[in-house]
Structure formats: structure tokens, C-alpha cells
């Protein structure tokens, strides 16, 4: 059984009937190829809301709230301002994870939460997208969380309560096990 099948069982989603994504254009806009598991997930279910507030984003989604490219650009602009403002702060007061100071490493947004959490791939030049880590940016400060595995596998583990997390543990609650497609 694949992670997509597991997510279908956990979330009860119906097949996506919207316009197909131009994944090559999405990769150019985001600055890296989108991991295959995420492409498969979005092709299967499209953008939408997992549970109460976790927004699964899609490149160029017709609903601006779910447009991965727009939301990624906006968040990266915000993070750039925050991180530049913090450069003069003591290291312990800086919120930028050290991994994003490495050459060829950058965050790429793929999901967000109404509670303020953002989920990113830790994209690395020369590393296959299927091997990227996932980073969770907490709301209102705090330590970023890092997880191994693909986006689809992480979602399965979070929904099953099998992944240790400080910020996304509510996804394990059965009342969060639903998917509402974007309109």
C-alpha cells in the first residue's frame, strides 16, 4: 500500500477533477523540482484543507489561499526580512535554522496552517527531492522542527500519531482526519 493509499484511507478524499498542474513550470517558479510524492498527491486530490486548518498547497491554484507559488514567495519575503533584522542579534536570539545558512540550501513551502505553522522542504542543490528533509516553522517563534521522509509519508505518520512533533500533534486526532477540497 502506498502513502497516497494510506492518506486516502485516513482522509477519505475523492479524486481531483481540476486542471492539471504544469509541474515543470512549478519547479521553475519554486526554484527546484517538486518531489514526486507531492506531485502524485496533488494530482490525486488537488489543494485543500486537512482537518480544521492545515492547508495543502498547489502550484498556481485558482484559489489564492492555496496557491503554493504565491504563498511560498510571500513567506520567503517575510523570512528574509525577519532573518536580516536578526543578523545583529545574539546567536541564541536568531530564529533562522543554521541549515539555511549552508550553500545551496533553501526552504520551499508546501503546506501551512491557520495556527501559523508552515511546512517546508529543505531543498538542497545536488540532492534528489525524495531525500529532502521537512522543516516545520512554528508560529510566533520557537525552534524549527525537522523530520525525515517525504511529505506524504510525514502526513501519514502525523495522522496516525506515529511522528514525534511539538507543533503538529493535533493531526493525530480522529476529528482532524478529513480533507476539504479547495473551491
pLDDT digits (tens, 9 = 90+) for 4-60: 999 999 999 989 999 999 999 999 999 999 999 999 999 999 999 999 999 999 999
Indicate the pTM of the whole model.
0.95
pLDDT above 90 covers a percentage of the chain that reads 84
Instruction: Measure the CA–CA gap between 82 and 126, rounded to whole angstroms.
Output: 27
The domain spans of the chain are: 3-176
Q: Binning pLDDT at 50, 70 and 90, where does residue 121 land?
A: very high
Distance CA 147, CA 137 (A): 12
The confidence band for 94, taking pLDDT boundaries of 50, 70 and 90, is: confident
Please report the pLDDT score of residue 50 as a whole number.
Answer: 96
**In this structure, what are the phi and psi dihedrals at residue 124, rounded to the nearest 5 degrees?**
-130, 125
Contact predicate 26/18, CB 8 Å: no
Q: Which CATH class is domain 3-176?
A: alpha beta
Rounded CA gap, 81 and 33, in Å?
25
Answer whether 133's CB lies under 8 Å from 122's CB.
yes
Amino acid at each position: 500500500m502506498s502513502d497516497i493509499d494510506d492518506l486516502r484511507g485516513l482522509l477519505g478524499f475523492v479524486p481531483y477533477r481540476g486542471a492539471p498542474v504544469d509541474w515543470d513550470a512549478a519547479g521553475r517558479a519554486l526554484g527546484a523540482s517538486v518531489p514526486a510524492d507531492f506531485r502524485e498527491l496533488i494530482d490525486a486530490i488537488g489543494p485543500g484543507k486537512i482537518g480544521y486548518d492545515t492547508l495543502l498547497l498547489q502550484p498556481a491554484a485558482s484559489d489564492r489561499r492555496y496557491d503554493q507559488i504565491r504563498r511560498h514567495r510571500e513567506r520567503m519575503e517575510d523570512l528574509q526580512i525577519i532573518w536580516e533584522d536578526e543578523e545583529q542579534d545574539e546567536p541564541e536570539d536568531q530564529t533562522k535554522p543554521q541549515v539555511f545558512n549552508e550553500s545551496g540550501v533553501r526552504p520551499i513551502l508546501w503546506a501551512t496552517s491557520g495556527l501559523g505553522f508552515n511546512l517546508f522542504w529543505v531543498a538542497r542543490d545536488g540532492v534528489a527531492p525524495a531525500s529532502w528533509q521537512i522543516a516545520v516553522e512554528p508560529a510566533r517563534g520557537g525552534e524549527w522542527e525537522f523530520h525525515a521522509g517525504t511529505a506524504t509519508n510525514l502526513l501519514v505518520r502525523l495522522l496516525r500519531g506515529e511522528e514525534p512533533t511539538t507543533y503538529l500533534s493535533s493531526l493525530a486526532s480522529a476529528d482532524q482526519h478529513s480533507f476539504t477540497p479547495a473551491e
